[in-house]
Structure 1
Amino acid sequence: MLDDPKERKYLILFGLYVGFWGMLQCLTVKLVPLDLAWLGLGTLAFSYGSFAHAFTFPCTDAAAEIWGAKRARMMVYMGTAVYIVCTVFLFLAVQAPPAEGWPLNDAYVALFQGGPRIILGSLLATLSAQLWDIYVFEWVKKRTGEKNLWLRNNVSTFGSQLLDTTIFCTIAFYGIIPNDVMPKLIIGSYLMKLLVAVIDTPIVYIVVYWVTGHWTSKGDIVEEETNDGDNETGATS
């Protein structure tokens, strides 16, 4: 497997994707302002975890384009497992007694204890949105063929980002933050993700070209190469 350059690149992409999942625990609880006064929306808020999380979608879209939906879903399942493991270890770290004289324990606990609703909301939202993104990506590709990678990338990402934002904000913050802040949080987070989604389109193209040498791919390149090899063997025989 590691002798195949394309498989090595898959592992690199896999590692980046899982790394973004691992960062979500640390970034999700941070809310930052988003000034949209120029759109007449005033200052909105978004979770900084949304910014990092948005970069997971070009990873799965590129994987679905090159290796197919099955390999892309494998990334999602492994990312989910890493998130759960990180949650468990952060919980244990928060519960562990601090060393005598260490002055930062209260701040550490406040930062990383993460309410159950935030953890559950982040997990369910990300898992649902990622699987939906892959499904829509493949659905569009089957109907448009190899061309228009930009179309399936954006159609799948725009919808899945809205799903992700709505599920997370509802589970994590409903009843906790004022009702008039909730729409601003959802809109702010979603607009930030849309901005990243527009930026990630050339990223997907670059990754596809980096792996295949072409700007689009038929998908499942590993299986195709195997079949070609079998055909060549059969022809030789």
Structure 2
Amino acid sequence: MIHHIVKDKSSRLFIILAGFFIANAVIAEIIGVKIFSLESTLGIEKANFTLLGESGLAFDLSVGVLPWPVVFIMTDIINEYYGVRGVRFLSVLTAGLISFAFFVFYFSISMAPADWWQVSQTDKGVPDMQAAYTQILGQGMNIIIASLTAFLVGQLTDATVFRQIKRFTGERRIWMRATVSTLFSQLIDTVVVSYIYLYFSLGFSFPRVTAIAMVGYTYKFTIAILCTPLIYLIHYLIERYLGRERAASMKQAALGL
């Protein structure tokens, strides 16, 4: 059985796409605790603008947004060849794996640190390794719940919008179904995670949360547009790998899933 799965091109492709999908989603959740300045990273002056009465805003983003374009692309590719059920299955599986990962992190944090290890990096500017370890891996439960909720709702929205557009456009306009579905899903993802975490959990004002969400979505909107040529390239490579006839039959079957 395993030999058949490994040799079958469609099965092997699903495993590869699923691997990139899951890996990047889990990585994004783990590294997302760090906030970076997009302007400083690019070496340009901070935007420092005012939006909805909130001044001093800039593109300060979670580094978790960096791997997400891969998740966007994998979602659309999986939907194209394996249907909404394929996306739904991987989304639920990924959410479960992320939850498991944070459970393991919580368990590992609770382990009593060795005395020598706790002070082992003092000369490198880390006086308490246990505190640093806890701070990085021990993200609050509220942000985890907000993030997982946003992830699942966003992914299912992406899959549904993608399929509806494809039913209308057929094989034409890949850019439309890929970009529009991503823009819808990321709008929902950004709104859900922002309001659950920042508004309900941290108590930020409604205008401030809305302004922060709009800044984050602007970045995601831009990245979604820039990723369009990459989606065409991946489609081309998959068509060559599967063969036109098999690829066409898979895409046709995916519409009914």
Query: TM-score, normalized by length of structure 1?
Result: 0.84
The CA deviation at 1:218 is 4.6
- Structure 2 match to 1:15: 19
* Residues 223 and 167 of structure 1: CA distance in aligned 2, closer, same or farther (over 3 Å): closer
The answer to whether the aligner puts 1:192 opposite 2:207 as a matched pair is no
The CA deviation at 1:66 is 1.8
- Structure 2 match to 1:155: 180
- Structure 2 match to 1:139: 164
Instruction: Supply the distance in 1 between the matched residues of 2:211 and 2:248 (Cα, whole angstroms).
Output: 40
Superposed, 1:148-227 pairs within 5 Å as: 148-174=173-199, 176=202, 178-179=204-205, 181-213=208-240, 218=248, 220-221=250-251
* Residues 188 and 218 of structure 1: CA distance in aligned 2, closer, same or farther (over 3 Å): farther
The answer to whether the aligner puts 1:65 opposite 2:80 as a matched pair is yes
- Structure 2 match to 1:234: none
Identical aligned residues as a percent: 26
C-alpha root-mean-square deviation of aligned residues, in Å?
Answer: 2.4
The CA deviation at 1:138 is 0.2
- Structure 1 match to 2:7: 3
* Residues 167 and 132 of structure 1: CA distance in aligned 2, closer, same or farther (over 3 Å): same
- Structure 2 match to 1:89: 104
The CA deviation at 1:7 is 2.2
- Structure 2 match to 1:47: 62
Superposed, 1:83-122 pairs within 5 Å as: 83-103=98-118, 104-122=129-147
> SS at the partner of 2:180?
helix
The CA deviation at 1:37 is 2.7
The alignment of Structure 1 onto Structure 2 pairs a total of residues equal to 222
Asked if the contact 2:32/2:65 (under 8 Å) is kept, the reply is yes
Asked if the contact 1:60/1:75 (under 8 Å) is kept, the reply is no
Instruction: Supply the distance in 2 between the matched residues of 1:49 and 1:16 (Cα, whole angstroms).
Output: 15
Equivalent position amino acid for 2:235 in 1: V
Query: TM-score, normalized by length of structure 2?
Result: 0.78
Asked if the contact 1:137/1:152 (under 8 Å) is kept, the reply is yes
> SS at the partner of 2:116?
coil
Equivalent position amino acid for 1:193 in 2: K
CA distances 1:28-63 after superposition (whole Å, capped 9, x unpaired)? 222222446398875232222123223211101011
Instruction: Supply the distance in 1 between the matched residues of 2:152 and 2:234 (Cα, whole angstroms).
Output: 23
Asked if the contact 1:51/1:196 (under 8 Å) is kept, the reply is no
Asked if the contact 1:68/1:219 (under 8 Å) is kept, the reply is no
Asked if the contact 1:6/1:211 (under 8 Å) is kept, the reply is no
* Residues 38 and 93 of structure 1: CA distance in aligned 2, closer, same or farther (over 3 Å): closer
Asked if the contact 1:65/1:219 (under 8 Å) is kept, the reply is no
Instruction: Supply the distance in 2 between the matched residues of 1:105 and 1:212 (Cα, whole angstroms).
Output: 49
* Residues 118 and 6 of structure 1: CA distance in aligned 2, closer, same or farther (over 3 Å): same
